[in-house]
Amino acid sequence: MTTTLLTAAYQAVDDKKGEDIVVLNMEGVSLIADQFIICHANSERQVQAIAKEVADKAAENGYMVKRIEGMDLARWVLIDLGDVVVHVFHRDERGYYNLERLWGDAPLLDMAEGK
């Protein structure tokens, strides 16, 4: 079930041209989620479009969106899908928060095969 959710969320980010998409395997690293998808966009509008697409694709595939935070400012939008959490940053914010470094002990997942 998680793989299908992960694939749907990743594809939604990719479809809306999310940049520098990174997928972290959080299993055994964090109790928050099994995977994190991290990406960025160049404008608030694109950040919102990516987040909306992720939520829509999750719902289309029968997954519940637990919560979405940050849509109003669109500088860092978090989409909580349960097992998968998607972080959509504005380009200017991504380096500041640097989640990849914060969760540096989480292995990267290569989603390119699934495209």
Q: Domain-by-domain residue ranges, the chain?
A: 2-107
Mean residue pLDDT across the chain:
93
Q: What is the mean pLDDT of residues 5-12?
A: 96
Q: What is the mean pLDDT of residues 81-109?
A: 95
Residues 6 or more apart in contact with residue 55 via CB below 8 angstroms: 65, 68, 79
Higher pLDDT, 28 or 115: 28
Q: What percent of the chain is modeled with pLDDT above 90?
A: 89
Kindly report the number of other CB atoms within 10 A of residue 20's CB atom: 11
pLDDT at site 3: 54
Kindly report the number of other CB atoms within 10 A of residue 7's CB atom: 16
Residues 6 or more apart in contact with residue 81 via CB below 8 angstroms: 5, 9, 54, 58, 63, 64, 65, 66
pLDDT at site 112: 72
pLDDT at site 113: 58
| 99 DSSP assignment | H
Q: How is domain 2-107 classified at the CATH fold level?
A: Beta Polymerase; domain 2 (3.30.460)
pLDDT at 1 over 60: no
pLDDT at 50 over 70: yes
Asked if 20 contacts 39 with a C-beta cutoff of 8 angstroms, the reply is yes
